Structure 1
Amino acid sequence: MGAARWIGRGEKESADQAAVDAMRLMLDTVSMDGMLFNGEEVGDGTGPAVDVAVDPLEGTRLTALGQPNAIAVIAVAERGTMFFPGAAVYMEKIAVGPQGIDAIDITAPPADNIRAVAKAKGVSTREISVVVLERDRHDELIGELRDAGAKVNLIRDGDVAPAIAAASAGTGVDMLYGIGGTPEGVISAAALKCVGGGIQARLWPRDDEERRKLVEAGLDPARVLTTDDLVTGNDVFVAATGVTTGSLLRGVRYLPNGAVTDSIVMRSRSGTVRRVEATHALDKLEALTGRQYR
């Protein structure tokens, strides 16, 4: 909700900062000894030692422009079970639902993966819908996917939500394909571990210097990373809340003196997925936190 007040205002930095501040405020109240990728400690220092991956606002530009699919998301797993990407900012990814896990091969041409997923789902390639980030680096990929018969849905930002959507019924998404953020790949793997989908990934160094740093750190850019490589633990929790309405979650809706949020909460060990619609009294929330939400 901290970010939602910036929807459509053209200020992605303000939206992002509001989300970061609000998430940090809430995390500091949680009974856990949490550690982020960058070594920052979160939680109140008590409770279990856990790895924490967050994206306080996945889709800063989406929020600023009032476009769909912006979410706030957090993943928590046992300490030492989340993949540390080193210097790698980006990775290649393919995310699919349960039927496509054994069909995909990130080393194969995109057309082969489209045909394999279509066969696994028992449908025509023309019925396969693929989400791809709209980037110049994906021009060739988009052409190959379309030549294979797939429908390509281009998004400006935010590939965690479509990764989860690929494993969720009724979203109209069959696959996420392409190069995106490495931390988001780890969060996606955590979520897919909960809902039953899967991901394959490879680190994507942007230049020779980044490749050298990865090799020196013992990370092989050619290695295919699976869901279990990205999150090795079996006790994983993921929660996401919609900021703007998208294929997975509804965005924040405002009432005369309140707001309604739509969230999904997942646990891998039990396979439980909860949908939570919450109503918030903004006067009370602002008094409690000292922050603005409208």
Structure 2
Amino acid sequence: MQETRTRSDIHTLEAVALGATQQAALASYPWVGRHDKDAADAAATEAMRQVLADAPGRGTVVIGEGEKDEAPMLFNGETVGNGDGPDFDIAVDPLEGTSFCAKSLPGAMATIAFAEPGTLWSPGPGFYMDKIVVGPGAKGVIDLDAPPESTLDSVAKALGKKVSEMRVVVMDKPRHTDLIARLLAAGAAVHTPAEGDVGGSLEALLPTGDADLLLGIGGTPEGVMTAAAVRGLGGDMLGRLAPQRQEEADAIRAAGMDLDRIYTCDELVGGDALFAATGVTSGSLLGRPRESEGALLAESLLVSRGQVRRIAHTTFGSMPRK
């Protein structure tokens, strides 16, 4: 955003993004371990919506909750903000890892991305995307049409590693059974979280992350938000729509979209962007919200202006209650 935004605008958007993820994390935290992922997601979404509603400027939700229903969700096409500030597009997943939150497992976090108006790719009726994500060291060597063994070899060479030293993130889904088996047979270590491909992508992107690449099919909202982080961190990413039901495939074709097209990171996010996340359950990337001596503490990560910043929030008060 630095090329077309003033420094003041950038600071404003960073503050809004961090405020939105922080409040979403605090609101969903009381639902940790209560085995009600829908309630946790609703709490995070409503808290984030309240922050965005009062935000300086005007934001348009490009990647949100889909068509509006009767609940006060962040739906595609919704406009938020008070209009007194910069315009921006929004991609949002108020609670990535809803099952992690519900079951009190590591890795749940509130996430959001902002970009220049008109620069976020809209997946239309497409809900799933096949993707490859790598950090800066492997930029330019990935190919979504290549076999996974070839991808492993190319990325390993770029990183100066042996294939046996490679660590890959693939979500533990039935659709990935063959992919996981092939990666293991090739000699790589495979981390298989049940969900959370934004978090998995960050593990591959961040210098302190515990992975070398992410492969497999995840959600399109997560794909667009990941692309915002990839741009900011200088990594690389390729994605292609991967419908999981015939109805989804038919809807994509009816919308005039090409199921064979491979999208680059710059096509998914076509301008400067920022990405923010706040931890809900403790994990390798972020810690959980907690109370300490009358203060609320939360941990966030901000990717903006080509930098990664880890931010500790401290506010006075007590944890929200269910």
| Equivalence for 1:278 | 313
Shift of 1:132: 1.1
Aligned residues: 284
Q: Which of 15, 18, 24 is equivalent to 2:40?
A: 15
Contact in 1 for aligned 2:56/2:81 (Cα 8 Å): yes
The reply to whether residue 144 of structure 1 matches residue 182 of structure 2 is: yes
Matches within 5 A, 1:88-99: 88-99=126-137
Structure 2, gaps ≥5 residues long = 1-25, 63-75
Whole-angstrom CA distance in 2 between matches of 1:17 and 1:52: 18
- Which amino acid letter does the alignment assign opposite residue 193 of structure 1? R
Matches within 5 A, 1:1-294: 1-37=26-62, 38-233=76-271, 235-267=272-304, 270-283=305-318, 292-293=320-321
Whole-angstrom CA distance in 2 between matches of 1:208 and 1:5: 38
| Equivalence for 2:70 | none
Secondary structure of the equivalent of 2:192?
A: strand
- Which amino acid letter does the alignment assign opposite residue 158 of structure 2? A
| Equivalence for 2:13 | none
- Which amino acid letter does the alignment assign opposite residue 236 of structure 1? A
Secondary structure of the equivalent of 1:53?
A: strand
Whole-angstrom CA distance in 1 between matches of 2:276 and 2:290: 19
Per-residue Cα deviation, 1:14-44 (whole angstroms, up to 9, x for no partner) = 1111101110111112112111121111222
Whole-angstrom CA distance in 1 between matches of 2:321 and 2:301: 21
Contact in 2 for aligned 1:282/1:293 (Cα 8 Å): no
Contact in 1 for aligned 2:107/2:282 (Cα 8 Å): yes
Contact in 2 for aligned 1:32/1:45 (Cα 8 Å): yes
Q: CA RMSD in A?
A: 1.5
Q: Give TM-score scaled by structure 1 length.
A: 0.92
Whole-angstrom CA distance in 1 between matches of 2:312 and 2:129: 33
- Which amino acid letter does the alignment assign opposite residue 135 of structure 1? K
Secondary structure of the equivalent of 2:161?
A: coil
Per-residue Cα deviation, 1:118-175 (whole angstroms, up to 9, x for no partner) = 1100111111111111110110010011111111111011111121221111221111
Whole-angstrom CA distance in 1 between matches of 2:147 and 2:117: 36
- Which amino acid letter does the alignment assign opposite residue 49 of structure 1? D
Per-residue Cα deviation, 1:22-76 (whole angstroms, up to 9, x for no partner) = 1011111211211112111122233222210111100111001111111101100
Q: Give TM-score scaled by structure 2 length.
A: 0.85
Per-residue Cα deviation, 1:158-214 (whole angstroms, up to 9, x for no partner) = 111121221111221111111000011000000111111121110012234322322
Whole-angstrom CA distance in 2 between matches of 1:53 and 1:240: 12
Contact in 2 for aligned 1:265/1:276 (Cα 8 Å): yes
Q: Percent identity?
A: 44
- Which amino acid letter does the alignment assign opposite residue 278 of structure 1? H
Contact in 2 for aligned 1:195/1:266 (Cα 8 Å): yes
Whole-angstrom CA distance in 2 between matches of 1:237 and 1:179: 23
Contact in 1 for aligned 2:54/2:80 (Cα 8 Å): no
Whole-angstrom CA distance in 1 between matches of 2:52 and 2:236: 28
Secondary structure of the equivalent of 1:55?
A: strand
